Amino acid sequence: MFASQTWVRRALLAAFLLSPLPSLAEVAARLDQVSAAVVVTGLAPHDMSSALTNAKAVRLRLEKNPSARGMLISLNQNGTDLIVVPRFALKAGADYELTVAGETLRVDLPAPDANTPRLVSFAPSQAVIPANTLRIYLHFSEPMARGQLRKMVSLATADGTPVASPFLTLETELWDPRQTRATLLLDPGRIKQDVGPNVELGAPLEDGQSYRLAVSPEMRSAAGIPLGQSVSIAFRVGPPERRATTPSTWDILAPTPGSRAPLSLAFDRIMDSGAALRLITLRGPDGQRIQGQITSDGGGWSLIPDHPWQAGSYSLIVDPELEDVAGNTIGAPFDAAPGTIGTRTEPVILTIEMSEP
């Protein structure tokens, strides 16, 4: 009696474990690449209708996020399929879980196809830069993620001693629209003469010292790929530049008419290379802006025209907002004597004659 009861129990258990459970086993979720929606197949009709009437019972969440909160979704029915439309595109390479009709289904997205980012250049790139340099640009090969500069970029002297808080800590990082160029502002309070931080901590850069600006290998692109190797930029620091910019002292190398040779300027100091590209323009004898390829490394500026040069009088227009790397403008030095910078400055126009040799 006792034995047969056990046998019956075992048989029932085995039947339970082995029996196919069609309504549960077939429920599956997959991402439809075209619509970017999650398609749930195999739902029993009553599960479908209860999902649609009680949308809150359907939850799509990123596995890695510790919150139980589901993301914003809307639900549709397509035949026997439940379509879960996320309000925001699911993140490539991430794993999501979908809870529907008491089941938790995984939706894994393929990893994104993304290049490893590189630091391609920086400015100023001159071997010696002024002690009161205000701005450093870092150019990357890929769009980078915001919000990591403070952690990922550091400055040290040549012997490895870290320079304490050299950069202005702004809430917003300064990037170009594509996020491939970062602007680092050396703390202006430590550059301006006799301001509290400058007196207390000294300028971040000292005349005669050598430095290394290091970018961490962990710095990530917008697609989440790290640089992979640390990059270190070495430079030496010279005397501070505290004079207003004077375009009349620039050397101009004018090409001969008929050629497409570059028109080149050599600055008397290191100018802001980003601003130089935008704020120095050339107009032809007819007053039209000359189109061509403009380059600047901060030490100079050159323009290779799309069409050969014509003989005549050209105007090089220097916007008053152009700054050198230390923030000095045409109107005034960065640290100006009282009463000298409150005056409006017009663009400086240099005339360049191009004539046959």
Partner 1 sequence: MSPTKSLLTASAVALASAGAVSAQSLSSAGALAFDTANTLFVGDAEAGLVHAFDLTDALTDQADYQLGRAQTFEGRTIFNHLDVEIAALLGVEAADIAINDMVVHKPTKQIFLSVHRGRGPDAEAVIIAVNHGALELVDLAAADHSSMSVGPVPTAETLEFGQPLNTLAITDIDYYNGELFVAGVSNEEFSSKLRRIPFPFTNEISTSSIEIWHAVHAQYETRAPIITQTIAELDGQPTLIAIYACTPIVRIPLAELTDGAEVRGTMIGEMGFGNTPLDIVPYVNGWDGTSNVVVTNTNRSAASINLEAIASADAMPHGEGVQNVFFVEGVYQFPLPMSGTLHLDTLDDTYALVVRHSPEDVRNIQLHTVPMPFFFDRADHIVEMNFDGSPDPFGYKAAPPVEDN
Measured between alpha carbons, how far is 206 from 129 in angstroms, rounded to an integer?
A: 10
Min dist. Cβ of residue 5 to partner 1 (A): 51
Contact 237, 206 (CB under 8 A): yes
Least spacing, CB of residue 12 vs partner 1, in Å: 43
Q: Is 8 in the site for partner 1 (CB under 8 A)?
A: no
The stretch near partner 1 (CB under 8 A) out of 1-9, 211-219, 220-228, 263-271 is 220-228
User: If DSSP codes are grouped into helix, strand and coil, which group holds residue 203?
Assistant: coil
Is residue 301 involved in binding partner 1 (CB under 8 A)? no
Nearest approach in angstroms of CB 23 to partner 1 is 29
Residue with tokens 């490539």: 92
Interface mask (CB under 8 A) for partner 1, residues 110-149, using x and -? Answer: ------------------------xx-------xxxxx--
**Closest listed residue to residue 314, CA positions, set 279, 350, 276:** 350
Name the helix (H) or strand (E) containing 136. strand 135-140
Reading the block at residue 275, the tokens are: 């601003």
Which amino acid is located at 178 in the chain?
Answer: R
Q: Does 294 bind partner 1 (CB under 8 A)?
A: yes
Q: Which is nearer to partner 1, 36 or 127 (CB)?
A: 36
Q: Which is nearer to partner 1, 50 or 165 (by Cβ)?
A: 165
Residues 240-269 that bind partner 1 (CB under 8 A): none
CB 148 within 8 A of CB 200: no
Shorter beta-carbon distance to partner 1: residue 126 or 148:
148
Site string for partner 1, 13-52 (x = CB under 8 A): ----------------------------------------
Interface with partner 1 includes 62 (CB under 8 A)? yes
Under the criterion CB under 8 A, does residue 10 sit at the interface with partner 1? no
Distances (CA, A) of 44 to 37, 335, 350: 20, 75, 80
Which residues, at least 6 apart from 13, have a Cβ–Cβ distance to it below 8 Å? Answer: none
Answer for which of 105, 118, 154, 192 binds partner 1 (CB under 8 A) is 192
Strands (E), 167-230: 174-175, 181-185, 210-215
Q: Does 56 bind partner 1 (CB under 8 A)?
A: no
